[in-house]
A and B are shown apart, each in its own frame.
Chain A
Amino acid sequence: MTAFLTALQKDFLLQWRGRGQIVAIFAFGAATLLLFSFAIGPDSVALRQHAAGFLWLGLLLASTLSLAESFEREMEEQALEGLLLLPASARALYYGKAVANCAQLAMIGAALVPVMVVLYDAGTIRLLSLLGVIVLGTAGLSAPGTLYAAMTAQTRARQTLLPLLLFPLVVPVLLAAVKATSLLILGDPMEQLRPWASLLGAFAVVQWALGGLLFGRVVED
């Protein structure tokens, strides 16, 4: 447990030191939301209808930057090998990084909500539920994302490989998160939010378990 907390602390510290990059990633996300509205046209009805989809697509694209960047520092000066020599288990390292990545993505997601409200006239009063959906969704993204970021950081075509591997895998997150967010924005007369949120939760549980089991093999020498 202490190894996990120490790893988490290390990753939060690294994120804090690199907070300029987090702001840049948020700006990238906001820019994509803007581009989506140009792609659809100034049709406020259509934009509001699909606002949830745009938010999650923007967040998904931003996640490739965020996840890749989380392992950049480990690759410099062979920090990863140094970490693995410590008596902390690879599992603790994985969960520390995955939690930190999840927190960072959730923050970016939450920051993109006002952008969505302004650009698409798509707000909701159920802000806590929206935050819950964002946390569940980013949890589903960050678990496999951290695993694959660890792999692709060590390859030649890292920028293409990470999204290529991650996107097909997180289709359930995209489906469920967009549906849940849409219900919050457009109304949920038949109380369908909970099942979709449960799907997000179930996906996250499976991916976090798998990631913890397999990460050790991914980073071993």
Chain B
Amino acid sequence: MSGVIAGGWEYVIAAYAATAVVLGGYAASVFLRWRTERNRAAAESGGGRTT
């Protein structure tokens, strides 16, 4: 492997963008799921306790 690869910035940006989208998207999904579960648990313990 020799020679210089000129440019290629679109690939660099694609890679960083993919990283941001995947990690950000997954983080958002975890947060959303956590909020849903927490609210559901709060609503349920308001009506009937389990512990």
Direct touch of chains A and B (CB < 8 A):
no
- A-contacting residues of B (Cβ < 8 Å)? none
